[in-house]
Amino acid sequence: MVDEIRAHGGTAELLEIDLASLASVARAAAEFKGTHPRLDVLVNNAGIIAGKRKLSPDGHELTWATNFLGLAALTRALVPALEAADAPRVVNVSSAAHESGRMAWDDLELERGYRSWRAYAQSKLAVNLWTRAFAKRHPKIDTNAMHPGAIATNIWSVLPGFAQALVARVLPPASKGAIPVIRLATSDDVAGVSGHYFNKLKDAPHAPAARNDDDAERLWTYVETTLG
C-alpha cells in the first residue's frame, strides 16, 4: 500500500503496530509523536472475529484487546498530537453488530460463555460507547463511530473455506468500504459533528445500548483504570 501511494505521487510512511499488544501501541504512538508534531486524522480500523477464546500478549481476551482496548489505548496516547492540529478527527470503525451487543460487566472478557459473535458484538458496542465518552471529553476533536457495511476482508477468515469463497464473491471490496471512512475523515459536510454513529454514509442513531450514558461513563472509568 505504501509503495502504491508513492507510485501515484503521494507521501506515505509505514508505522507497524499490533493493536492487540499494549506495548506495541505505546511504542508506535511514541515513535509517531517523536517525528510528527500533530495528527490531523486518526482512523482506527483493526478488527477480528476469533473463533475460539484466545489471549493477547497482555493476557486480555483477544477480540476485546484488538477491537477495543488497543483502539482506546492508541487514541489516548495520540491526544496531544491530535489536539495540536487545527481541525482533528478520529474515525472509529465499528459495526452494525453493536446493535446486538451487551456489556457483560461482570465478565467483560468472557471467561464464561464465550462465543465469537458475542465477543465481537460486545467489542463494537464498547467502541460506540467509548466514542461518545471520548467526544464529550475532547470537544476539539471530531470523533465518530461508523459501520462501513459488510465488506469482503480478512475478518471473515473465521468462516469455513467454502463460506469465505462465497463472501469474497458476494460482498463488496474494501475499496467500497473505505468510502464512508474517507468521508468522515475529510469531508466538510461532517465538520463539527462528533459523538455520532454513521451507518455507511448515513448519520444513524446509536443502538439503545450505546446511548446509555451510565454505561459510557462506566466504560470510560474501566479504560482509565485498566490502561492507567
Catalytic residue of the set 114, 120, 197, 222: 120
What is the Cα–Cα distance from 130 to 151, expressed in whole angstroms? Answer: 24
Strands ordered across the beta sheet of 41-44: 41-44, 89-93, 142-147, 197-199, 202-204
pTM (2 d.p.): 0.90
Residue 213, amino acid: D
Residue 70, amino acid: G
2-227 is classed CATH 3.40.50.1820: no
Overall average pLDDT of the 143-168 stretch? 60
Q: What is the pLDDT of residue 54?
A: 97
Q: What is the pLDDT of residue 27?
A: 98
DSSP letter for 205, please: P
User: Hey, is 144 helix, strand or coil?
Assistant: strand
Name which residue leads in pLDDT, 170 or 46.
46
What is the Cα–Cα distance from 57 to 136, expressed in whole angstroms? Answer: 31
Residues in CB range of 162: below 8 A, 6 or more apart: none
Q: What is the pLDDT of residue 150?
A: 53
% of the chain residues with pLDDT over 70: 87
What is the Cα–Cα distance from 80 to 17, expressed in whole angstroms? Answer: 19
Q: What is the pLDDT of residue 151?
A: 52
* Domain ranges for the chain: 2-227
Angle at 179 between CA 39 and CA 80, to 5 degrees: 15
% of the chain residues with pLDDT over 90: 76
Judged against a pLDDT cut of 70, whether residue 165 lies above it is answered with no
Residue 96, amino acid: A
pLDDT digits (tens, 9 = 90+) for 53-64: 999 999 999 999
Decide: 216 and 129 in contact? Cβ < 8 Å. yes
Name which residue leads in pLDDT, 171 or 152.
171
Mean pLDDT is highest, among 48-52, 161-165, 195-199, for: 195-199
In terms of DSSP H, where are the helices of the chain?
Answer: 2-7, 22-35, 62-64, 70-77, 79-83, 116-137, 161-170, 174-186, 213-227
- Cα–Cα distances (Å) from 58 to 1, 165, 224, 226, in that order, read 29, 33, 16, 11
Residue 92: in which H helix or E strand, if any? strand 89-93
Is 114 a known active-site residue?
Answer: no
Overall average pLDDT of the 40-46 stretch? 94
Q: What is the pLDDT of residue 9?
A: 85
pLDDT digits (tens, 9 = 90+) for 81-116: 999 999 999 999 999 889 999 999 999 999 999 999
